[in-house]
Structure 1
Amino acid sequence: METRYNLKSPAVKRLMKEAAELKDPTDHYHAQPLEDNLFEWHFTVRGPPDSDFDGGVYHGRIVLPPEYPMKPPSIILLTANGRFEVGKKICLSISGHHPETWQPSWSIRTALLAIIGFMPTKGEGAIGSLDYTPEERRALAKKSQDFYCEGCGSLMKEALLPVTSGSASSQADKEAKELARQISFKAEVNSSRKSVAEPADLSGFNHLPSSPEHQQESTTLAFQDTTPNEVSENQTNSASSSQEQHNQPASNNTSMSPRQRRAQQRRVPTSTNFNQVQQPRVNTNHMGSNALILLLVLALAALIFRRIYLANEYIFEL
């Protein structure tokens, strides 16, 4: 049964264009979508020369999301190679494990060259990475030529063109190395920027991203160690502070009636002065502690005197 796709979809347009460009195999790589699934591709790459993978021909899958090219593909190796784990999504700066480093201008050809360029690099514990010995990798490279893929019917001995010493072949090797270097550098730069930006993102909500998804994510990060009651209390305190600042100019107006002043006094929390007294840390000598207690007593006395004055004024008014 022939699968039908929405030809107006950006992902479908892009994938059909890339399929036409990669239709003919080269001596370094080849990739094509499955006959019944445009979003799953099978690829074949040759191991980079002058490395432990020299002479190897490796096969794998590329699974693309419906949002491609806005989101990165997932890459899975099917041939044992000693660098990437078989049957598992590998972690590369150009794969689905790192959407923050993906660029929509990259393509499946970019992913193929990146795989070739990353093969001689160290895994460093990344997901799907292996650190086999050079002897084991050379043995697997020789054995890889006999691999046959039942999914697409590709035989590694016939999947790619014979290696040539022409300028096109050398250019592909250089491009793969340079691409791997650039992508690794970009991943390191983005990682450092992210680590520097994280404390600023958690310090407040003045710099939240504009999209709802990012707003929800940032709010979750900010309250991930806070209970629901504490979150509600924080939001209430923020609203009270803004209301207090908004009403502060009105308290300086001497033309207000006693009833208005009493209403405003009720709106302002009675613990404001107490909180202002409690904010300084009591880390001074004994004299500082006595001064703090004296200020607290004076503040409480002022509040009591204010209450009595307002009560008498209310009685007189009646």
Structure 2
Amino acid sequence: MDGSGSAGVLGALGGGVLWFFKNLALAFYNFGYAIAHPGLWLDWSNPQAIMRVVYYGASTEFFFVVLAAFVVLTGLGLWRRSIMWGSVRLLEGFANTIGRFFAWAGLLMVLQQIMIVFLQRIFRVSEISLGPLGYAFSKDLSWWSEELKLYNAMIVCLCISYTFVQSGHVRVDLVYAHVSHRTKRLIDMFGALFFMMPMAVLVWLYSWYFLWRHLITPKPSASESLDRLLMKAQALRWNVETIGFSPNGFNGYFLFKVLLVAFAGLVFLQAIAVFYRALLEYLEGEESAGRFLDRDSLGPGEDAREATH
């Protein structure tokens, strides 16, 4: 009985390993097929194309395409370190650009809150109207007040990787600060592969269908097959969520679902950047620490203040 049980476990492990490498090999075919047949998923005038995007956006096939791209890029980067350094600069530059742009939402949030307080408490205005390019946009003050939550969500979701690049996250260094350079890089690589990436994948899987269930009807489900979703496409229509928490309140809550998907994507890309930078700094030694790192600075005074901490 013990022998048969061990054989069953080994068989299951072997089947799992075979399944993994089979899907990894098929990823190249799936990617090539998608590129060669863009109308199957880019022609959104066809409801079936939308359903294919819904299905494959959180599918095993898409996961292995991303994994295959990561493996190929890592192999090229180990062959030519300039490729890996270029990937680091590209990913960190992308994070900085997105973060620096959407960080202005913080200022906009403060200014809008001040305006709401003055108009409501002093001038007793009940609504705010904007007319850019001759288009009138009028909403109740409660709508503008609730919309402030969107600015906060934009800062959290779209500035997360930027904050990581800038080393702005709160950290408690009980071990990390006291170990050697190479040990720090090993910790960074382990954290990127086994914490950041899996967390980003899980958030993506849950948020992807959470988003689409509030955009289209019939509502798709993660448990449904592609054939089932293609059948549902016959009755597909857009049904964007516009329900607010109050009668005149903010009604664009589907945007929060979009931001959640963007959050997962940015964290995954930043995990790749963290892994590549840590690997390069591990291979090239301590003199490469912080190479090409683009961090914001307020000038020489800032460096002087940091040196005193």
TM-score (norm 2): 0.22
Q: Which has the higher strand share?
A: 1
Higher RCO (CA < 8 A, seq sep 6+):
2
Larger Rg: 1
TM-score, normalising length from structure 1?
Answer: 0.21
Which structure's residues are more often helix, by fraction? 2
